[in-house]
Structure 1
Amino acid sequence: MTIDSVRREVLPAPVRAEAVPTVRARIVGVGTAVPPLSYSQQEVLDVFGVTDPKARGVFLNSSIERRHLVLPPIGADGRPVGEPQGDLLDKHKKHAVESGIRALEECLKRAGAGLSDLRHLCCVTSTGFLTPGLSALIIRELGIDRHCSRSDIVGMGCNAGLNALNLVAGWSVANPGELGVVLCSEACSAAYAMDTSMRTAVVNSLFGDGAAAVAVVADGNASRTTPGALGDDGPRILRFASCIIPEAVDAMRYDWDRDLNRFSFYLDPQIPYVVGAHAEIVVDRLLAGTGLLRGDISHWLVHSGGKKVIDAVVVNLGLSRHDVRHTTGVLRDYGNVSSGSFLFSYERLLNERVTRPGDYGVLMTMGPGSTLETALVQW
């Protein structure tokens, strides 16, 4: 079955209302970090000498103004130095760790916590493979307590930040008062196959490097690991809902390109329409049994997957441009920073200081699988 044959599925029976648990996980801090150098789309085109009009059009009509990237150095011939796969893996390790550390430190600072308060670190990445994973490398680098539990989510793509938040929220509920952090660190420039073809133009015009971290603690009796009034303004995490589209499993993939002799990311042009067609299904499932309608949601934090993806979600969910202002703002200023994109939007929402007690919010990500992930939160 091809991606073009994907059809709308029937909404499953409503999820039964959940019994209200005595303990809820709560978001108590967020932090982001990017490499120091940023580039306009025109500058990226100039660096790589892209002259094909169609490829240039993809870059210049992307609704992206700048992206933070770690581009290869320029050689004596004025062209970027080639990066074999081994060098790209080294780049991923170096910059995913560096940006990840800065995002983690900013997150803990906003939560009013320190490294000694951290009890679980979950690291997310899809732009390179490491063993040991990012969590072990960052724990060693920062001298975090060796008894800090950890997990690594690798290869799930842009939706993985919410997959990780689901897991750490569950860990937090099982360990009330203990601090857990999800850290998404993506060196997307280490996953590029830099040529001038249309196949790679979509990917090369879209992704940026960056890291984002979110701190979670479950309501419970004060403990020695809960510093002060930890993140008092953070929303409670109420529930999650997922939707995988098996017939579109090959539509987003990161696999070996035998022609280029390296890993390469592929995006099917039909992805925005497939995601849009399933956005309503997963959101309705998320809200089923809660008594809430889409109109009751005050804050929408959607993954900055690209202009067409955002447009498709807006149309299918009946959202306004104001609803996705942070999604489009992050895309404009950073491009698609993969698994951490929705946390860049969440940080902007907090900086606006417009949330009020009782407000509901929906977090939404999408990525390979093809998959949509959602979460319902309340301030």
Structure 2
Amino acid sequence: MPDPVKLLSIGVAVPPNVIEQGDAAVAAHTAFAARFGDFERLSKVFESAGIRRRYGVRPIDWYLTTSGWQERNAAYIDGAGALFLEAATQALAAAGLEASQVDVVVTVSSTGIATPSLEAQVSGRIGFREDILRVPVFGLGCAGGVSGFAIAANLAAARPGCIVLLVTVETCTLAFRMDKLTKANIVATALFGDGAAACVISAARDGIAEVEASGQHTWPNTLDIMGWSVEPEGLGVIFDRAIPPFAEAHIEPAISAILAGAGLSLADVDRFACHPGGAKVIDALETALNLGQGTLNHERDVLSDYGNMSAPTVLFVLDRLVKAGLPPRTLMMAMGPGFTASCVSLKAAA
């Protein structure tokens, strides 16, 4: 029987520019108040989002000047590359490995375009081998941390003994659009931050946790819930339907079906590790999954400290759970464009 796939380590990183929520609110007021009649009502999201600060690949003043796609994407390649290096180096060091020992690298990112992809951009600086298998993944959005983890685990299972490095990196702040007078854009300026997380996954060594199962559920006719519009000025956020009520109504049967496929039920899960998309999303998940109010404490803390970084955010939550001591079974889960729910079940190492 093959050895189980295990999580060996986690590394996280944020860029150097701190964006305090109060400063973001002032900047948004400067940009929008005189041009968008409903701004004062919508601006309350800066207080209700549950966020104290975030981090950006550029200083806050940079976002106040409307720039085009080319400048924003150049900032993505520069900022995401630096974040990739920092998170990956942390994770490899924690696993006691060198970059030259990595056999497969899975890169998950949806906030910019890099061709060659990010892992190729940084390969010489980090020290990957020439024969490394590169697997760049685009378009998963907020579900990318969990879906990418599942992809990396499946590759580790398919190639016994190999070392797989997963890196999720997003620069969501580059979608802040001062030219775009929409509710979705103003909400995005109150929610999004930048960051990266990396995991080392393998069946060849002892680890923090064993990967038990994974699965996805995609709801039909939900393409309008979340995504990007691609425009000359840059990416534009799509929030055409409210996510918290959708999650509250639909997430429990989807998660139950995924678990049933692995012979498990909600009652078998000791701790959910959820992507904290926003304060109301966390509340909706606690209600839908019959968790006590306040159960998802690490999710709220990560949201407060970093904002919604899209794909990496759930791995920041997992990192805190690991440091606090994983319970016997943790279900990592996130929702993202599609509209999709993605899950990975982890069993703590004995």
Could you state the TM-score of these two structures normalised by the residue count of structure 2? Answer: 0.91
Of 193, 196, 211 in structure 2, the residue corresponding to residue 208 of structure 1 is: 193
The equivalent of 1:376 in structure 2 is 345
* Structure 1 equivalent of residue 48 of structure 2: 61
* CA drift at 1:197: 4.2
The equivalent of 1:314 in structure 2 is: 286
Equivalent residue number for residue 255 of structure 2: 283
User: 1:169-188 counterparts in 2 under 5 A?
Assistant: 169-188=153-172
* Contact map agreement 1:160 1:339 (CA 8 A) in 2: yes
Uncovered stretches (5+) of structure 2, i.e. residues with no partner = 34-38
Query: Residues 17 and 59 of structure 2 are in contact (CA less than 8 Å); yes or no, is this contact kept in structure 1?
Result: no
* 1:67-106 matched pairs, under 5 angstroms: 67-71=54-58, 74=61, 80-106=64-90
Question: What is the distance in 2 between the residues matched to 1:108 and 1:210?
Answer: 17
Contact map agreement 2:69 2:231 (CA 8 A) in 1: no
- 1:236 partner amino acid: E
How far did residue 322 of structure 1 move? 4.8
Aligned residues of 2:191 and 2:308 also touching (Cα < 8 A): yes
Q: CA deviation at 1:71?
A: 3.9
Deviates more, 1:283-292 or 1:236-245: 283-292
Greater displacement, 86-95 / 262-271: 262-271
Do the aligned residues in 2 keep the contact of 1:203 with 1:267 (CA within 8 Å)?
no
CA distance 1:323–1:111, change in 2 (3 Å): farther
Shift of the alpha carbon at 1:289?
5.6
Which residue of structure 2 aligns with residue 5 of structure 1? none
Tell me by how many angstroms 1:73 deviates: 6.5
Alignment of 1:332-351 (within 5 A): 332-351=304-323
1:355 aligns with 2:320: no
Q: Please give the per-residue CA displacement for 1:39-79, whole angstroms capped at 9, x wherever unaligned.
A: 2221012234154312320112111111111345748xxx9
Question: For residues 371 and 338 of structure 1, what CA distance do their matches in structure 2 show?
Answer: 14
Q: Is 1:199–2:184 an aligned residue pair?
A: yes
Q: Does 1:236 align with 2:205?
A: no
State the distance in 2 between where 1:289 and 1:213 align.
27
Residue 226 of structure 2 is matched in structure 1 by 252
- Deviation digits for residues 280-322 of structure 1 (CA, Å, limit 9, x no counterpart): 1222123216554323322211001111211111101101245
Q: Aligned with 1:81: secondary structure?
A: coil
Output the CA distance in 2 between the equivalents of 1:277 and 1:68: 32
Provide Cα deviations, 1:124-168, integer angstroms capped at 9, x if missing partner.
111001111112112133231111111100122111222222222
Report the AA paired with residue 238 of structure 1: E
- 1:302 maps to which residue? 274
Q: Distance in 1 between matches of 2:182 and 2:58?
A: 18
* Percent identity over paired residues: 28
CA distance in 2, matches of 1:25, 1:278: 30
Residues 184, 340 of structure 1: 8 Å contact kept: yes
| Alignment correspondent of 1:139 | 123
CA contact (8 A) 1:239 1:286 kept: no
Higher alpha-carbon deviation: 39-48 or 204-213: 39-48
Structure 1, 98-107 or 232-241: larger mean CA deviation? 232-241
Q: Which residue of the partner structure matches residue 124 of structure 1?
A: 108
Q: How far off is 1:233 after superposition? A: 4.5
Match of residue 364, structure 1, among 323, 333, 337 = 333
Aligned positions, number: 340
The 8 Å contact of residues 147 and 343 in structure 2, kept in 1 or not, is answered as: no
> 1:20-53 deviations in whole A, cap 9, x for unaligned?
x533211010000001121222101223415431
Kindly name which structure, 1 or 2, has the bigger radius of gyration based on alpha carbons.
1
The separation in 1 between residues aligned to 2:256 and 2:135, in whole angstroms, is 30
5+ residue gaps, structure 1, are: 1-20, 220-229
The answer to which of 301-310 and 64-73 deviates more is: 64-73
Are 1:237 and 1:377, in contact at CA under 8 Å, matched by a contact in 2? Answer: yes
Judge conservation of contact 1:73–1:81 (CA < 8 Å) in 2. Answer: no
Q: Distance in 2 between matches of 1:197 and 1:247?
A: 23
Deviates more, 1:282-291 or 1:366-375: 282-291
Task: Verify the 8 A CA contact 1:203 1:266 in the aligned structure 2.
Answer: no
Conserved? CA contact 1:119–1:179, under 8 Å: yes
TM-score, normalised to structure 1's length?
0.84
Question: Counterparts of 1:136 and 1:270 in 2: how far apart (Å)?
Answer: 37
Letter in 1 for 2:190: S
Q: Give distance in 1, aligned partners of 2:329 and 2:17.
A: 36
Query: Do 1:161 and 1:182's aligned partners in 2 also have CA atoms closer than 8 Å?
Result: no
- Secondary structure of residue in 2 paired with 1:255: strand
Which 10-residue stretch deviates more, 121-130 or 284-293? 284-293
Residue 300 of structure 2 is aligned with which of 322, 325, 328? Answer: 328
Provide the secondary structure at the position in 2 that maps to 1:214.
strand
1: distance between equivalents of 2:3 and 2:246? 36
Contact preservation (8 Å) 2:17, 2:58: no
Instruction: Summarize the Cα distance change of 1:117–1:321 in structure 2 as closer, same or farther, 3 Å threshold.
Output: farther
SS at structure 2 position matched to 1:339 = coil
TM-aligned CA distance change 1:68 to 1:240, over 3 Å: same
